Chain A
């Protein structure tokens, strides 16, 4: 199985500060289709996960543009340009290139 390693485990930031979360996979997520199925989701406290980013860098329509995703092959990054209160929760990366699909352990964003 592909191992997804997220760092840091937690982040404590003030509103307005930038945030960066790393996600590394144990093998390349570039699929035979030429697409890279690396996704990000956010789980706010007490809620189910919500979609954020798919195929490394594509934001879903409802996601604010302060979020961005980048990376390739085995190294990926989620960035928030300026953290807002509604951004707190746990961020998970997950890969949909290789079966079985696998998730990172999560990064908890807390507000300072």
Chain B
């Protein structure tokens, strides 16, 4: 059974940095592109970006490219999202996905002073 389990969310202050993790199981992690998607409190879905199976290539939403970095550790079957200089509009539930097919349960990030 494919499982994606995110962690690392919480309450952070504007301007801070935060790193989210997603541990994958039930499939060969290193065979798949992986992505991050977020959902705002108003339920709007936004694609953040994705990363090639070997970590050699990434794509980002232009609006987030300068502050968010996606990486992976195939030895640990783990996907990461490094968020920097966070803003109130980054408040959302962050989902790890195996694109088009599987979604994690999400981790909530709240940006507030």
Spell out A's residues near B (CB within 8 Å). Answer: 37, 39, 41, 48-51, 54, 60, 90, 92, 94, 96, 99-103, 105-106
Contacts and interface: CB of A to CB of B under 8 A. Distances in A.
B47 A51 contact: no
Contact of A39 (B62, B100, B106): B100
A48 B95 contact: yes
A41 B61 CA distance: 20
Contacts, number: 40
Interface residues of B, number: 19
A100 B100 contact: no
Contacts of B60: 100
Given A96-B99, A96-B100, A103 B105 contact: no
A44 B105 CA distance: 12
